[in-house]
Amino acid sequence: MDSMLSLLPKIYNPVEYDTFSIIQTVFWFMAAAISFYFSFKIARLWTSISVGFFLIFWSQAYMLNPYAQSYNKMTAIHYVIGAVAILVISHGFQEYYIFTRTLEITGGKYLVYLTTIGVIALSTVLITLNPKPTLQVLRNYKIMENSIWFFLAILNMYMVWKIFNELRDSFVAKGILCFAVVFFFIVLWKGSELYLQIYQWDKDWMDIIDFTGEATDAAKYATQINVAQFINRYSALLSGISVAGTFSYLFKLLR
């Protein structure tokens, strides 16, 4: 076993399996599975939404991997996948809104799959060609991902509201409105993490300055940090629960 262990990369940070993270991953898996079912049966815009939620599940599940933090380039790729996920989901909701206004459904499902794979492949190539990301660089990737998530989640709440207004008296309207709740929790989840990152109070920064010996003012702002961490933890869980609940409800409506 020791001879095998020497072949494996070193684990720099202790692996902590948070119960919340595991529960979240299960819920995101439910959402991904149901949205995949929709994408086969219904129109192309559900393909965009389902691919997006599948990518979220994938990036969430990857972070449970004990070696997640050891393969820096893979970690960077998964932050990019997380960003692509919310972009694809947003694209799906925007197409849904366009449908409610024009009643036109155009384009093929395979285009969504191929474009997503293409974007991820291109990102992978770019990250692979560049130097191995340091912890600071990985943190930058994470800030980028959180920023994209935060602003697109706000936009998607607005989109969902507009779609609901157009579909108000249709059978599926309430199911669509539930996505507004999902995105609300996502705004809190990613927003709280982004807040900590911007003020350099996040765990990644604390780990970095452990090595560099840099000082931090975290002790002075313990209240804000604790509140943000509390919001981050519970809104992450609630976003997972709400997305699984929303898809279950939609599955019941559209079956």
Partner 1 sequence: MFILPKGTPLAENVPTSRIDLPVALGKLRNSSFNGYAKFSLTSTTGVFLYIDGRLISALFQPDGTGSLQDLDAIQATIESLVLNRDGAFSAYRFSREIAFALLALFRGELILNAQEMQLIDFKAVLEKIKGEHMNACLKVYTENRAGLIFYRDGAPIGFFHDSAQEIGLSQTEVRTIAGLQGAKIDVLAIKESEETATLLDLHDLLDLAKSWSVAKENVFTTVSGSPAASRSLPPASARPAEPFETNLVALQAGLSEIAFSYLGKLGRPLLEKELAKTSGPEEILVPEKLERLLASLEKGAKLLTNSAKIKQMLDSMRAEVARHN
Contacting residues toward partner 1, per CB under 8 A: 41-43, 45, 96, 99-100, 103-105, 166-173, 253-255
Q: How far apart are CA 230 and CA 220, in angstroms?
A: 18
- Spell out the alpha helix ranges (H) of the chain: 2-5, 19-41, 44-62, 72-102, 109-129, 135-167, 173-198, 203-212, 222-254
Which one, 144 or 254, has the nearer CB to partner 1?
254
Which one, 138 or 250, has the nearer CB to partner 1?
250
* Shortest distance (Å) from residue 28 CB to partner 1: 24
* Shortest distance (Å) from residue 90 CB to partner 1: 17
Q: How far apart are CA 20 and CA 61, in angstroms?
A: 12
**Backbone φ, ψ for residue 205 (5° rounding):** -65, -40
* Shortest distance (Å) from residue 115 CB to partner 1: 21
Which one, 102 or 212, has the nearer CB to partner 1?
102
Q: Which long-range contacts (CB under 8 A, 24 or more apart) does 125-131 make?
A: 127/73, 127/76, 127/77, 127/80, 128/73
In the block, tokens 């999902």 appear at 182
Which one, 61 or 180, has the nearer CB to partner 1?
180
Which one, 99 or 247, has the nearer CB to partner 1?
99
* Shortest distance (Å) from residue 57 CB to partner 1: 23
* Shortest distance (Å) from residue 105 CB to partner 1: 6
